[in-house]
Amino acid sequence: MVFSSLLFLFIFLPCVLLIYYLTPSKCRNLTLFIASLLFYAWGEPVYVLLMLFSILVNYSHGLLIDKYSEKKEIARYFLLSSILFNVGMLIFFKYVDFFILSFNNLMGTSIDALGFPLPIGISFYTFQSMSYTIDVYRHEIPVQRNIITFGTYVSLFPQLIAGPIVRYQTIGAQLDSRNETFDSFAEGIRRFLAGLGKKVLLANNIGLLWHQIRLIEPTELTVLTAWLGIIAFTFQIYFDFSGYSDMAIGLGKMFGFTFPENFNYPYISKSITEFWKRWHISLGTWFRKYVYIPLGGNRTGKLNLYRNLLIVWFLTGFWHGASWNYILWGLYFCIIIVLEKAILLKWLCAMPPFIGHLYAGFLIVIGWVLFAFENIYTGRQYLQVMFGLRGTGFYNEQSVYFLYTHALLFLILIVGSTPLLGNTIQKLKCKSMVLYYTTILFLSIAYLVDSIYNPFLYFRF
């Protein structure tokens, strides 16, 4: 699926760009809307109808909320209706089987799961749609009366599959009028290729190591192998997701849009609080604006603050997947952030920066163990191996082989996780920069054609 979609994109994108720039400005949203539906239909031919239905429902609710904006009770009714529709659609397709299976395990029943496949990108476009109707209700944005323009916002193919989550407030003006320039287009190409290289050349290659280690039974692992495996996953998920975000931002620039940044070198953080300001920024912003602040944020006393954090982090974990490990992962970070707000941040600020980096890095890696294993029992076994409580010792020939064959790649990943590489590239002269990005393009295409391992980790979210 992912392999064919990426290759389809290389064929699809030049055609769309050509048609887009040949189209009169007033018709370009229509071109993008049709192209986005075709792109989505390539992977989800049936669920494109679900997306169209979602567009129609949220567009209609926006109009109704605006129409009754002076009658708050009626407007609130339509807002609640739109939220229930979006949340209900998300629950039905993403979580209903989880609830059925959990009920079966708890009550000893044998209710059949529905087994509907998860529509690609549903977690992203439902959140975008909800942000639109909520902001219309709050009078923070004008209602969009052109259904093609609104449909373009919801379905916009560059960021549809895996974000960033783009609020209407961010690009509403750009949907109505945008200035496509040569400089923006060139920057878009560079950003797209940088993301492609992150995903294909870095995430995929280190992901192979994680894939190999994950197939080994935890009881047969050594401490070193277990740590190498989860550190490999730590880099894979970052370069995979941030790579896709870079590709989406680059594609957006090619069409004249400026999407929000989604990552800001999260692995250089000195606390977990800082990490979550740098990781999946658009998701954190969404939960802060539409859940945390409406609940009262930090304005209503410490007990309410901790309650609000608990709700947000429970939802953050659950948003990532219909499995208990994601909920546990969210609550894990909730506990750490509560402790940091209570006391740890004061201590960390008083210590040398490298202590903060070690502290945050260690806790982030432990968190990825909870995230990586949907089977909580297997995840617990893996953690036990990491700390020498299970397994076959500290190291063996296999773990040493994994280490020295991937040492250079780990070094590249470490450097790539910091601003150092990006700052160096910015200083390259024009010819060197062209050579750099051309090399990324050809190596990425060669990898895609030759490799059968090419997952997009955030597709399932």
Residues 332 and 422 in one domain: yes
Question: Do 165 and 265 sit in the same domain of this protein?
Answer: no
The whole-number pLDDT of residue 455 equals 63
Of the candidate ranges 60-64, 215-219, 275-279, 428-432, the one whose mean pLDDT is the lowest = 428-432
Do 142 and 253 reside in the same domain of the chain? no
* CA dihedral of 245, 250, 251, 253, whole degrees rounded to 10: 130
Based on the domain organization, do 210 and 131 belong to the same domain?
no
CA distance linking residue 33 with residue 59, whole number of Å: 15
pLDDT of residue 118: 85
Q: Kindly state the percentage of the chain with pLDDT values over 70.
A: 95
Which pLDDT score, from 0 to 100, does residue 460 have?
53
Greater pLDDT, 371 or 7: 371
- As for how many domains the chain has, the answer is 2
Per-residue confidence band for 2, with pLDDT thresholds at 50, 70 and 90:
very low
Look at residues 144, 163, 178 and tell me which one is the last residue of a structural domain: 178
Q: 74 is in which domain, residue-wise?
A: 2-178
Do 173 and 211 lie in a common domain? Answer: no
Mean pLDDT of the chain: 90
Confidence of residue 451 (pLDDT cuts 50, 70, 90): low
Domain boundary among 153, 178, 203: 178
Residue among 139, 211, 280, 320 flagged as catalytic: 320
Other Cβ atoms closer than 10 A to 45: 9
- How far is residue 185's CA from residue 218's CA, in Å, rounded to a whole number? 48
Residues 243 and 174 in one domain: no
pLDDT digits (tens, 9 = 90+) for 395-417: 999 999 999 999 999 999 999 99
* DSSP-based three-state secondary structure for 189: helix
pLDDT of residue 3 exceeding 50, the answer is no
Under the banding of pLDDT at 50, 70 and 90, the label for residue 146 is very high
Domain end, chosen from 138, 156, 178, is at 178
Asked whether residue 74 falls in the same domain as residue 166, the answer is yes
Band (pLDDT 50/70/90 cuts) for residue 159 is confident
Q: Is residue 153 over pLDDT 90?
A: yes
Do 382 and 434 fall within a single domain?
Answer: yes
> DSSP string spanning 98-114?
HHHHHHHHHHT--PPP-
The verdict on whether 406 is a catalytic residue reads no
Confidence bin at 1 (pLDDT 50/70/90)? very low
The pLDDT, as a whole number, for residue 381 is 96
pLDDT at 173 over 50: yes
The predicted structure's pLDDT at residue 303: 87
Return the DSSP state at 63.
Answer: H
The pLDDT value recorded for residue 11 is 79
∠ CA 160-7-443, rounded to 5°: 110
Residue pLDDT, tens place only, 328-337: 999 999 999 9
Tell me: do 110 and 202 sit in the same domain: no
Question: Residue 117's pLDDT is what?
Answer: 86
**Residues 171, 209 within the same domain:** no
